[in-house]
Amino acid sequence: MEGVLNQLPIGLSIGAVLLLIALGLTFTFGQMGVINMAHGEFIMAGAYTAFLLQSVGFLVALPAAFVVAGLMGLVLERTLIRRFYGRPLDTLLLTWGVSLMLQQLARDLFGAPNVQVVSPAWLRGGLGILPYNRLFIMALAVLSVLAIWAYMHRTGQGRRMRAVMQNRRLAATSGIDTGRVDQRTFFIGSGLAGVAGVALTLIGPVGPTLGTYYIVDAFLVVVAGGLGQLRGAVLAAIGLGLLNSYAEFWSDASLAKVIVFVAIIGFLQIRPQGLFFVRSRALT
């Protein structure tokens, strides 16, 4: 029984990390039809930012990683992805090329072996079965979701973002500068991946291929949650995190991913468009 309970914070914190990663993916995918494989490398960039700033302080690393990863995303959007709107499958291959280059760059800058970021002293220990570091990650995800929700529903920028996501042409006709909205969405989404990277330094080492471990699962969150859906992403991420950790616990670790895959395929039989979606009569 104790083992079952111990899995809970692990599953929830993995879910929290997946959520931070998937938020950016679901918005760039939902709003722009872009599948960004380089998103994983923004996670890595955030993690290395934390590594470089560990003498300065952990809390400084969070906003710094947000900005670093966000700027990387912005540059990628402006230079390359902008030319590929409406060609999701091509963006996938394009950004994978970018991701390869960024991984090699990380290898050249920081070396191929993993590095360890020392967790701040106040995050060691825990409350019973709840280690502080995992609690912190969950809190980070909750705060991020609240911030994103407030941004989307309480600011003018967020309103424009939702408008573009629902109907790009109509939004453009109504005078919204869709290009600018795209840039902002990309910046915020990539920035959140950077924050996820900082969070990951609390539970494991940092290496050039850090992002590749999480990107596939994060995409599954997008598929299961529904495109551009905040609620869907939250539920799917928690579900997938828990499913992952309990599948590992009850079967063996190597079967867990297969179980998760079968579960997703099964889920898509019931809800092929994910948990939530915008009803439309358009032919897709």
Partner 1 sequence: MTAVEAPVEAPPVVRREPRRWQGPAAFAAVALLALVVAPLLLEPFRLGLLAKYLCYAIVALGIGLAWGQGGMLTLGQGVFFGLGGYAMGMYLKLHDAGGDLPDFMVWSGVEKLPALWTPFGNPVFALAMAVAVPVVVALLLGALVFRQRVRGAYFAILTQALAAALVILLVGQQGLTGGTNGLTNFFDFFGQDLAADETQRGLYLTVAVVLGVLYLGARQLVRSRFGRLLLAVRDGEDRVRFLGYNPATVKTLTFAVSAGMAGIAGALFVPVVGIISPALLGVVPSLELVVGVAVGGRFALAGAILGAVVMGYARTYFSEELPAAWLYLQGALFVLVMTLAPRGIAGLAAGLVRRRREAGT
Residues that bind partner 1 (CB under 8 A): 29-33, 35, 80, 83-90, 92-94, 96-101, 103-104, 108, 165-169, 212, 216-217, 219-220, 222-223, 227, 252-258, 260-261, 264-265, 268-269, 272, 283-284
Helical axes 132-154 vs 2-32, angle rounded to 10°: 30
CB of 34 to partner 1, least distance (A): 8
Alpha-carbon distance of 99 to 58, in angstroms, equals 26
Minimum CB separation from partner 1 for residue 222, in Å? 8
Name the DSSP letter for residue 82. Answer: G
Q: Which is nearer to partner 1, 148 or 220 (CB)?
A: 220
Based on CB atoms, which residue is closest to partner 1, 108 or 177? 108
Residue whose CB is less far from partner 1, 89 or 143:
89
Nearer to partner 1 by Cβ, of 87 and 135: the residue is: 87
Residue 162, C-beta contacts closer than 8 angstroms, at least 6 positions apart = 152, 153
CB of 130 to partner 1, least distance (A): 28
Tell me how long the chain is. 284
To partner 1, the closest distance from the beta carbon of 209 in angstroms equals 10
Q: Cα angle vertex 80, ends 149, 53, to 5°?
A: 60
Q: Which of 13, 10, 279, 271 is nearest to 141 (CA)?
A: 13
Q: Which ranges of the chain does DSSP label H, i.e. alpha helix?
A: 2-32, 39-52, 58-79, 88-110, 132-154, 156-166, 168-173, 178-201, 210-225, 230-250, 253-270
Nearer to partner 1, 195 or 256 (CB): 256
- Least distance between partner 1 and beta carbon 270 (Å): 9
